[in-house]
Amino acid sequence: MKLLPKLSKTSNILIRIAIVLVVYTYIYYQIFYKRDIHLTLNLVGDMMDNKTEFTLFLSASLLMFANLFIEAKKWQYLISRKEQISTITSLKAVFTGLSVSIFTPNRMGDFFGRIFFLKKAEHVEGIFMTVIGSVSQLLVTIVVGCISLAFFLPVYYPFNDFPSNLILGVLYVIGILANIIFLGLYFNISFITTLSRRVFKPEWKHWNHYIEIFSDYKTSELFHVFLMSLLRYLVFSTQFFLFLRAFEVPLTLPDAMMLIPVIYLVTTVIPTIALSELGVRGSVSVFLFGVLMAGHLLHVGDLQLRVFAASTSIWIINIAVPALIGTFFVYRLRFIEEKNSNKDDE
């Protein structure tokens, strides 16, 4: 949409201010109003007296930088197909994407928050390239989650008769087939280009120019993106484990490898806004940890509080803090263009 220069500039400034206000208001509401942050802070205060637990907490917090750096390098790699950008620019784009996505369903705003940092690549192409990275991350969550679920179900939900074993077998077959199909589609993502040529109506043919981007990536490049997504997954899974141990949740490493991917799998398939994700992840975590403790005949009086504290901590570190940092780069967003404007900053 193009408007007169003065009106365009004013409109963009107002939109940027609105985004910043929404981000700060939502985070404040989520942390200080909807969730009692004081309970978590009390646990953190107690943790300060224990050097081991504080070290675990600090290590988990510092992994935020590894998490965001990997995501920035992944996006930089994908975008390099159309435009060369620096790692710093990619990091700014990731921070801004988190700011915009925090109040959008399933973080859809992440795509739009990043593309405004592109100067040469077309924005629609940028969105599609970003989608490839998101699909890769989602695929890792599904594949690893399904593998962990395959170990989790028979251990904590014993199948002792033929009908239940048959159901378990059917679930395994469905899971294996589904993962093979998902992986096959991802590594042959060019099928989207072929499909669009066949099904698009004549008036939609101009979209083929943008969708061609899906056929530009080789299988080796898609595999590279997949490995980066897997590495990032290992980072934030490790973060969650360290936060849980820091808050004295009695979780062993083998149990963590089986349970944490299941938590991420369940929270991924539940449609959420990033803000509500804290409550969803906390609830799912408490339920599954309850199953785990019951299976091990372990009982921790304030288990629910400690699990919620760990979920709150990882949400604050990986979502809220980067989103707040991203508000300092929101000035790059330009939703309304001036007449005869280019892609440079105002």
Write out pLDDT tens, residues 18-41. Answer: 888 888 887 777 777 655 677 777
Q: Are 149 and 265 in contact (CB under 8 A)?
A: yes
φ/ψ (deg, to 5) at 172:
-65, -45
Query: How far, CA to CA in Å, does 266 sit from each of 2, 36, 44, 148, 277?
Result: 42, 24, 27, 12, 11
Q: How far apart are CA 314 and CA 76, in angstroms?
A: 25
Write out pLDDT tens, residues 114-136. Answer: 888 888 878 888 899 999 999 99
Write out pLDDT tens, residues 149-184. Answer: 988 888 777 677 777 788 888 889 999 999 999 999
Q: How far apart are CA 255 and CA 148, in angstroms?
A: 10
Name beta bridge partners: 2. Answer: 337
Q: Domain spans of the chain?
A: 2-338
Q: What's this model's pTM, rounded to 2 decimal places? A: 0.85
Instruction: Kindly indicate the confidence band of residue 269, based on its pLDDT and cuts at 50, 70 and 90.
Output: confident
Q: How far apart are CA 187 and CA 226, in angstroms?
A: 9
Structure tokens at 332: 């790059």
- What is the number of other CB atoms lying within 10 angstroms of the CB of residue 65? 12
